Structure 1
Amino acid sequence: MPRWGTVPFENISNLAVHTWAVKLREKGLAHNTIKTIMKILTMMLADAADEGIIPVSPVRVRRRGRRRHHRKPEAIWASPLEVLRIALQAATLVGEWAAILIITAAYTGARWGELAGLQRTNIHLDDGFFVIDPDIGALQEVGSKLSLGQPKTAASARTVTLPPFLIDTWRYLLGLHDHPHIFVTAQHQLLRRSNFARRAMRPAADGNIHIDNPLIRVRPVKPGLVFHGLRHSQNTWLIADEIPEVARALRLGHKVSDKIREVYDHVAPEIEAKILTCLQKRWEDALAAQFPNGLVFTDENRLFALAS
């Protein structure tokens, strides 16, 4: 709406659309985000052409000469120790809640919207899991408006188990505020992805050694890692721990056929227990590597001392 809402269909040109895409990229939007935006706009214009509102869609795929093959960049993921170090820096930058959010994303594989939209009513710490609701399980941000809606796909509505350390950490976080959502800012406001990326994720992962006299100095840990990369990290760890593909898919909210799910359900408890055991060990190993002489309580890491 901010860019095209008041523009008549006949005034939209192929050049204008692709120029807009370039400007979005210059603003720092991810390649996949721009790709999705362009796909939606293209579909809307194609529908307008089908309905006779315009003679033909003005948007064309840009190609020059021979068809170019673009190499898709590999997703950046982080080790448990790198995730811990990024979280510690995020705690220093904006507060413990940011660190817990980063740790949670890496150790559950949940998406940004699923965690930002998670409410107390769907958290069951005594039983060690949380539920992503099929109707209001994701926080969605359109323009400046935040609202609860359906998660990304039908398969995204799921139950996700928590390793023991994360159960303790969540109890601690929930005791710090009385907001209906577990993850909120220090001012108890709902999260906005761009704000979190700018204030916490980017500097905590990339460092800010290129900035003169920042308020808080942080070092590079995993340059280029985005929040979604924490989800890739979870999947990478599970592959290394030889967790079956179907178990990984169900945990991450990927689509699995009913027949495969039926077979998996017979072994699910054993596999689920293995997942949690492996994740707990990865956390403990990361703590031991970061604090070889034992934990010392500080403003930045007291939540990690609690979780240990």
Structure 2
Amino acid sequence: MAWVEKRGDGYRVRYRRPDGTVGTDSSHPTRKAAQTRANAVDTERQQDTYIDPSGGKITLREWADIWLEAHNVGANTAAKYDTYLRVHILPRFGDCPLNAITRMMVKTWVKELNQRRASSTVADILSVLSMLMGEAVEERRIVTNPCRRLRPTADLKPERPWATELQVLAIANHLGPAEATLVVTAAYTGMRWGELVGLQRQNCKLDDARIHIDPDVGALHEIAGRLELGPPKTPAAVRTILLPPFLVTRLREHLDTHDHSHIFVGADGGLWRRSNFSRRFWRPATDGNPKKLIAPVIPGMHFHDLRHTHKTWMIEDGIPEVAQAKRLGHRLPGVRGIYSHVSPAVEQRLVDCLQKRWENTGNP
């Protein structure tokens, strides 16, 4: 049962914890106000909704250490969390007790971040802080999550570009044979960068005209500067991709040029890093290079836009949404994802359309 004690010029509410120790709930200027709060504490404890204020006195830095120890995510995500905490969250809130972090403090911080970072990055940073504070609520250290329903200012981004089959061929023609094959494979499969550069011979089933994305080592990840094979982005990304005939032939020819266990490697046999490939090959091929008399194709296009390109082609060809999602490694939400399936006939029609697109560029 909570009681009231005189303390200096005011009164405080005290209570006994289950372990026998005595805690302080709050301080008040009058006995009447303190007694009202003491009655409320008794009611909350009877209803098992009481939040012990001492639990929220832990600093965010201390709480983050506890949270990270218990949080189970992949190495890539863990590295991202570490960066957001170290660079953005802990410098501002690390020494603050959890129960001292207010909504207005967070809103001010988000406003400042919006002036220096893209809205998508700010949203990711805010999401990490919100997870920390949300777990503190679940652990009954604080009453509410000060990040709840906060959103960074959205950027008005232009629609990402996509390429026609002739533009893909033009980009490829600006590259050497190995790099060109990587680009063509990306455009005609919709595979992610990490899936492409992580693809190994054992998962390239050319006799069956299929590529398999392995659940354990199906993607190459760059984590804190290190390249590591690991699972693809999502469980839905574990899939088998049917290849059009021309691409089977092209990949066979490409594999005859080296004996590395990976399909796509650099000239020195090393695995590709996205930044190196972009700087040395992708940017000059898409933006153009006047010194080398390379004409621009689609200035500003990202390598990932080849994935958008593949999606656009499937839409143009009237491929069912479920087949599009399966090929790209997505999962349709709700009932559509449960009851929709891709038949072999639909899959064959998809690759027939891709083969026709290639032939329309004047290639056999």
TM-score normalised by the shorter chain: which range applies? 0.7 to 0.9
2:352 paired with 1:277: yes
SS in 2 for 1:141: strand
**Comparing both chains, which one has the higher relative contact order based on Cα–Cα distances under 8 Å and sequence gaps of 6 or more?**
1
Return the alpha-carbon distance in structure 2 between the equivalents of residues 133 and 159 of structure 1.
9
| 1:225 partner letter | M
Q: Cα–Cα, structure 1 residues 207 and 117, in superposed 2: closer, same or farther, change >3 Å?
A: same
Corresponding residue for 2:173?
Answer: 88
Corresponding residue for 1:38?
Answer: 125
185, 190, 194: which is aligned to 2:266? 185
Cα drift, residue 143 of structure 1: 2.2
Structure 1: 5+ residue stretches without partners: 26-30, 289-307
Choose 1 or 2 for highest CA Rg: 2
Return the alpha-carbon distance in structure 2 between the equivalents of residues 184 and 57 of structure 1.
47
Q: Cα–Cα, structure 1 residues 124 and 62, in superposed 2: closer, same or farther, change >3 Å?
A: closer
Return the alpha-carbon distance in structure 2 between the equivalents of residues 183 and 161 of structure 1.
18
Cα drift, residue 71 of structure 1: 3.1
| 1:81 partner letter | L
Cα drift, residue 222 of structure 1: 0.9
Return the alpha-carbon distance in structure 2 between the equivalents of residues 193 and 22 of structure 1.
27
CA contact (8 A) 1:110 1:231 kept: yes
Cα drift, residue 235 of structure 1: 1.1
Task: Write out per-residue CA displacement over residues 149-191 of structure 1, whole angstroms, 9 at most, x where no aligned residue.
Answer: 1111111100001111110111111111111110111111111
Q: Cα–Cα, structure 1 residues 198 and 78, in superposed 2: closer, same or farther, change >3 Å?
A: same
| 2:125 partner letter | M
Return the alpha-carbon distance in structure 2 between the equivalents of residues 112 and 126 of structure 1.
24
CA contact (8 A) 1:87 1:103 kept: yes
Cα drift, residue 37 of structure 1: 5.0
Query: How many pairs were matched up?
Result: 267
Return the alpha-carbon distance in structure 2 between the equivalents of residues 261 and 123 of structure 1.
28
Q: Cα–Cα, structure 1 residues 148 and 42, in superposed 2: closer, same or farther, change >3 Å?
A: same
CA contact (8 A) 1:81 1:286 kept: yes
Instruction: Map 1:26-65 onto structure 2 (within 5 A).
Output: 34=121, 37-39=124-126, 41-43=128-130, 46=133
Instruction: Map 1:1-308 onto structure 2 (within 5 A).
Output: 5=86, 10=94, 34=121, 37-39=124-126, 41-43=128-130, 46=133, 70-89=155-174, 91=175, 95-209=176-290, 214=291, 216-256=292-332, 263-265=340-342, 268-287=343-362, 308=364
Larger strand proportion of the pair:
2
Cα drift, residue 42 of structure 1: 3.6
Return the alpha-carbon distance in structure 2 between the equivalents of residues 281 and 184 of structure 1.
28
CA contact (8 A) 2:219 2:230 kept: yes
The two structures have a TM-score, normalised by structure 2, of: 0.63
| 1:176 partner letter | T
| 2:256 partner letter | G
Cα drift, residue 69 of structure 1: 5.9
SS in 2 for 1:126: helix
CA contact (8 A) 2:191 2:328 kept: yes
Q: Cα–Cα, structure 1 residues 191 and 43, in superposed 2: closer, same or farther, change >3 Å?
A: farther
CA contact (8 A) 1:87 1:99 kept: yes
| 2:341 partner letter | Y
